[in-house]
Structure 1
Amino acid sequence: MTSPAPDRNRPIGERHVKVWFRFTPREGWLPYDREGLWGVTVGPDTARICNVPFLQDGVAEGDVVRFLTDAHGAHWAAERVEPSGNCTVRVLPVPTGPLGRSAQAVHDRLAPFGLGGETFSPELPLVALTVPADADLPAIKATLLRGQAEGWWHFEAACVTDAWRAA
């Protein structure tokens, strides 16, 4: 399988590498079995992830991962070695809901919390968000739950911390 669209542009700088993650595709979801995330090298076989994952669970922007480099020069994630404390949350607006298919409306609803993120594509307005470790986790969770209950979106917490679980 190929990597999911869009292919994120390479960040500026020599120390950036694409780190690939392999996973089993979920039934009824996107058919991809890998995702490439940009990272800044922090050691010969480690990188700090620089963007939020759309598909890979258990990793967040800012985490440090160890990678193995294959014979073709591709860097494959082996393990997370240093969590950042950030969380990854994915939000998909309900097409028939009050926000329609608008990824921008999702961003607008969550903008007061200062969350950074990306949108998968106009065809699939999946929004992947980084929730910083020092964010107002109870208020973010309450907003996500309210939005889901009111039919704005579906969401999943793809990488969370103990603080998120306790909020």
Structure 2
Amino acid sequence: MTSMTPPEPVTAGNGRIKVWYRFAPREGWLPHDTEGLWATRLSRDTARVENAPFLQDGVAEGEIVRFVTDADGLHWAQERVEASGNCTIRVLPVPSGPLGRSPRAVHELLSPFGLGGEVFSEEFPLVAFTVPADADFGGLKALLVRGQEDGWWHFEVACATDAWRDG
């Protein structure tokens, strides 16, 4: 799960930690300047990201990142060490559109592409999806564009690969 609350050290079982990202809030968007992503610790200063980000651009699930741990025990992302080949897209259903505010309907329409995703909240039904490296990028992009043109949703590509751009 992604966290936008003020950072604090978080560790789960099985070597999972929160790796924090700091960024400038986007105008007209959620007023957060940090996001914590679950990650599996691989070494003293590397971890594999385990979920799709709602706010941070340029990172996808499965990527290996280098982090530094501050005096408070927070793990701050520094750089990507190894790309996963996955992409991150975010989809926000249009409340007045045919899907209403239903993240479930978004999931159902995109399910043929094998995407995993999470919903930000019931109040703000933004869905962050991980697009696997072997997905049908062309078909997915066509559906995303059609859905936006037909008023189903708004979407953005938060992390793209060359294969996504070429697909």
TM-score strictly above 0.5: yes
Amino acid at match of 2:155: F
Q: How does 1:74-85 map to 2 (within 5 A)?
A: 74-85=74-85
Change (3 A) 1:79 1:155: same
Q: How does 1:29-44 map to 2 (within 5 A)?
A: 29-44=29-44
* Partner Cα distance (2:12, 2:147) in 1: 36
Q: How does 1:33-112 map to 2 (within 5 A)?
A: 33-112=33-112
Please name the residue that 1:146 is paired with. Answer: 146
Amino acid at match of 1:158: A
Change (3 A) 1:39 1:126: same
Amino acid at match of 1:123: E
Equivalenced residue count is: 162
> Does the CA contact (< 8 Å) of 2:11 and 2:18 recur in 1?
no
Secondary structure in 2 matching 1:43: coil
* Partner Cα distance (1:158, 1:165) in 2: 12
4+ runs of 1 displaced by more than 2 Å? 10-14
Give the Å deviation of 1:149.
0.6
Structure 2-normalised TM-score?
0.93
Please name the residue that 2:13 is paired with. Answer: 13
Change (3 A) 1:26 1:107: same
- 1:121 matched to 2:121: yes
Give the Å deviation of 1:41.
1.0
Please name the residue that 2:23 is paired with. Answer: 23
Secondary structure in 2 matching 1:91: strand
Structure 2 segments unaligned to the other structure (5+ residues): none
Structure 1 segments unaligned to the other structure (5+ residues): none
Secondary structure in 1 matching 2:38: strand
Change (3 A) 1:11 1:20: closer
Please name the residue that 1:134 is paired with. Answer: 134
* Partner Cα distance (2:53, 2:116) in 1: 12
Give the Å deviation of 1:158.
0.2
